[in-house]
Amino acid sequence: MNSGPLSGIRVLDLTNVLAGPYCSYQLLLFGADVIKVEMPKNGDLARQLGADPQLNSERLGASFLAQNAGKKSIELDLKDSSGKDEFRQLVKHADVVIENFRPGVMQRLGFGWETLHQLNSKLIYCAISGFGQNGPMSNRPAYDQIIQGLAGIMSVTGTEELAPLRAGFPVCDTIGGLGAAMAISAALAGRVNSGQGCFLDVSMLETSVSAMGWAVSNYLITGQPPSPMGNDNATAAPSGAFPTASGLLNIAANKQEQFEILSNAIGMPELINDARFKNSEMRKINRETINQEVAKGLSRKPAAEWEEILSSLGVPAARVLSVPEMVQLEQLKYRRFFTELPFPNHPETTLKISGNGIWIDGHPLAATSPPPTLGQHNKEIFESLLAEPATGCQQKEVR
């Protein structure tokens, strides 16, 4: 049994690839018991995705391993009559069902919201899709890149010469998964008072647009469309990535006092009284010039030294790291962000996976068991869980 605020909450995860599995992984880290319901033989498509072909062939692709630790896996064919019967029994014992099929698929399988609600009135059903369950685009197929383009994210990523560019990781899948996890947690809390479950309709397009924040609100409120600015920050200057004697350095000298401290620290105090840079608005107008001046000062030392110097003076600054460099950060080690677990089917190897950066009562949230092999928990679930009275799980509530 997992510990945490969602301990005792049972989740049926019918999802594939990223948005849904990322959602259920967040719930698992908070203590939920997640049962991954997978198609026989192949399972989650992510089992075949990743940089190692051998792992992909074993249905243990790196993309799957990244967000399925701690879950239990069962094989169930929802198109088969016996599979349907077993799923009905599972639903009676569950608190949450998550799926990321196209709208209408669950209804055609005989498991639409009305049917599931009749089976378990306390069930929370979360449907994650590209565009939501209704509307003119709702039945379109969608992957992360499709949503990035439609949401306007690609249009503001990169420089004027290079944009539109896709973000370097599946940001819309991740945001959609986080939005779904938040919605489910809120619904579980609300169920304490209502005693009833609910249907959650999560749109990746809408959660992504919401997460764009100022890029959208500035246009809605002022009519000013955002433009790609590369590594620069539209709201302030000097704020962006700057070359140094060795490596790039991110600096966010957004306040006047930070700009003045930065100017003195890099040995260029004359910038403070330069009329072109006297305040934030003037510095934005003369962004290219101030960036060039700051880069001159930074050329005297490597990025690692400037990071220490400027951070100690209260100016936000840090190196621009590669992923291999990032995973070596002492801060992440101290916070126990990465967890080491036995590698499925490879006991001689250790699997390192990410947490979610949240601590509760002085301890980081982390999975305690490795990702499951396909169907690993068939016997455990079908023999023990289905033998429980159907009212057992329905009485549990989030406190």
Active site positions, annotated: 173
3-state secondary structure of 352: strand
Residue 31, beta-bridge partner list: none
Cis peptide before 170 (omega within 30 of 0): no
Question: Which secondary-structure segment (H or E) carries 36?
Answer: strand 33-38
> 181: burial class by Cβ within 10 Å (0-12, 13-18, 19+)?
buried
210 in Cβ contact with 202 (< 8 Å):
no
DSSP structure class, residue 276: G
- Phi, psi at 378, each rounded to 5°: -55, -55
Cis peptide before 21 (omega within 30 of 0): no
Residues 200-238: b if buried by 16+ CB within 10 A, e if exposed: bbbbbbbbbbebbeebbeeeeeeeeeeebbeebbbebbb
What is the largest distance, in Å, between two alpha-carbon atoms of the chain? 79
Rounded Cα gap, residues 277 and 35, in angstroms: 58
Distances in Å between the Cα of 277 and the Cα atoms of 4, 230, 238, 263, 267 are 51, 21, 10, 11, 16
Q: Output the six-digit token pair for 1.
A: 């049994």
Instruction: Give the sign of the dihedral formed by CA 22, CA 27, CA 31, CA 37.
Output: negative
Distances in Å between the Cα of 369 and the Cα atoms of 1, 10, 202 are 11, 17, 29
